[in-house]
């Protein structure tokens, strides 16, 4: 008699259940769903990444929580899920980006780097003695055009014009589908990112808890300053307040 139920198939990553599922990969996706929400938006001159660090204690130093990482001058990554797993992938991505500059004397393509990182993720879904990476990544960058890719613990990846990962993924994507317009400018992209994060936060978002970067065509990876984020939050005051009231 064959064993029944998920428990019979979830102990080894190399074992498929009778209905073709890999439970360890699905558990890794659940870890991502418990992570903080990250948003990525492509605009007319570049791409933006934004994360609400969801600081849970007044004793925590917000700067110590890192959810967005620079890979190269033209590529950044936002993470959700197990940050330690994400750091392992980030370090590998940085090495591959620098290798491209040393060997080929040119920056690595955003698509190429995404594919290589996802190849690593996929390898950890088929070898015994390992577990999948419990993290999803939003990989943003520019080559001749801006790009935004979402990666899954399984190693699959998809390109988006606007997307989200983490616990608020579904709600944020619904909002983005309603409000995102191709060709929006940088300020509108910042506003939309803040509105998206505010829509799934427990209270009104605070500038010190927001991490945000932009990468523009012909430009470089730039950290959006707290002053600019704070000014944007103040301009959006009434709209952010109305979202907060609805949640309450």
Domain of 122, CATH number, reads 3.60.20.10
Q: What residues are paired with 149 via a beta bridge?
A: 139, 159
Is residue 162 included in any domain, yes or no? yes
Is residue 116 included in any domain, yes or no? yes
Catalytic one of 14, 36, 37, 145: 36
Domain that holds residue 145: 22-247
Is residue 16 included in any domain, yes or no? no
Is residue 118 included in any domain, yes or no? yes
Question: What's residue 244's pLDDT?
Answer: 55
Read off the pLDDT of residues 108-138 as tens digits, 9 standing for 90 and up.
Answer: 999 999 999 999 999 999 887 788 999 999 9
The DSSP annotation for 55-107 comes to ---TTS-GGG---EEEEETTEEEEEEE-HHHHHHHHHHHHHHHHHHHHHHSSP
Is residue 65 included in any domain, yes or no? yes
* Residue position matching structure tokens 């392992």: 88
Question: What's residue 2's pLDDT?
Answer: 43
Is residue 10 included in any domain, yes or no? no
Polymer length of the chain: 248
Token output for 229:
């984020």
Assess whether pLDDT exceeds 60 at residue 93: yes
Mean pLDDT of 5-29: 78
Is residue 157 included in any domain, yes or no? yes
Q: How many domains does the chain have?
A: 1
CB 78 within 8 A of CB 162: no
How many CB atoms are closer than 10 A to CB 29?
15
Is residue 122 included in any domain, yes or no? yes
Record the pTM: 0.91
Is 227 catalytic? The answer is no
Q: How far apart are CA 197 and CA 164, in angstroms?
A: 10
Read off the pLDDT of residues 69-78 as tens digits, 9 standing for 90 and up.
Answer: 999 999 999 9
Order of strands, sheet of 221-223, starting from the edge strand that comes earlier in the sequence:
162-165, 38-43, 46-52, 210-216, 221-223
Tell me the pLDDT band of 1, cut-offs 50, 70 and 90. very low
Assess whether pLDDT exceeds 70 at residue 47: yes
């Amino acid at each position: 008699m064959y064993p029944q139920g998920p428990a019979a198939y979830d102990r080894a990553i190399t074992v498929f259940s009778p209905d073709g599922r890999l439970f360890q990969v699905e558990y890794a996706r659940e870890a991502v769903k418990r992570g903080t929400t990250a948003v990525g938006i492509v605009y007319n001159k570049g791409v933006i990444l934004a994360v609400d660090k969801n600081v849970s204690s007044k004793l925590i130093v917000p700067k110590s929580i890192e959810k967005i990482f620079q890979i190269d001058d033209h590529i950044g990554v936002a993470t959700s899920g197990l940050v330690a797993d994400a750091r392992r992938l980030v370090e590998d991505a940085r090495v591959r980006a620098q290798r491209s500059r040393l060997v080929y004397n040119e920056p690595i393509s955003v698509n190429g780097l995404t594919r290589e990182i996802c190849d690593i993720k996929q390898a950890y879904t088929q070898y015994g003695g390992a577990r999948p990476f419990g993290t999803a990544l939003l990989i943003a960058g520019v080559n001749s055009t801006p790009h935004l890719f979402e990666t899954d613990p399984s190693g699959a990846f998809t390109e988006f014009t606007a997307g989200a990962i983490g616990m608020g993924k579904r709600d944020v994507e619904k909002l983005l589908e309603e409000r995102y317009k191709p060709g929006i400018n940088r300020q509108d992209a910042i506003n939309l990112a803040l509105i998206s994060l505010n829509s799934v936060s427990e209270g009104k978002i605070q500038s010190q808890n927001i991490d945000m970067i932009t990468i523009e065509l012909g430009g470089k990876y730039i950290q959006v300053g707290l002053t600019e984020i704070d000014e944007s939050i103040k301009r959006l005051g009434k709209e952010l307040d109305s979202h907060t009231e609805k949640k309450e």
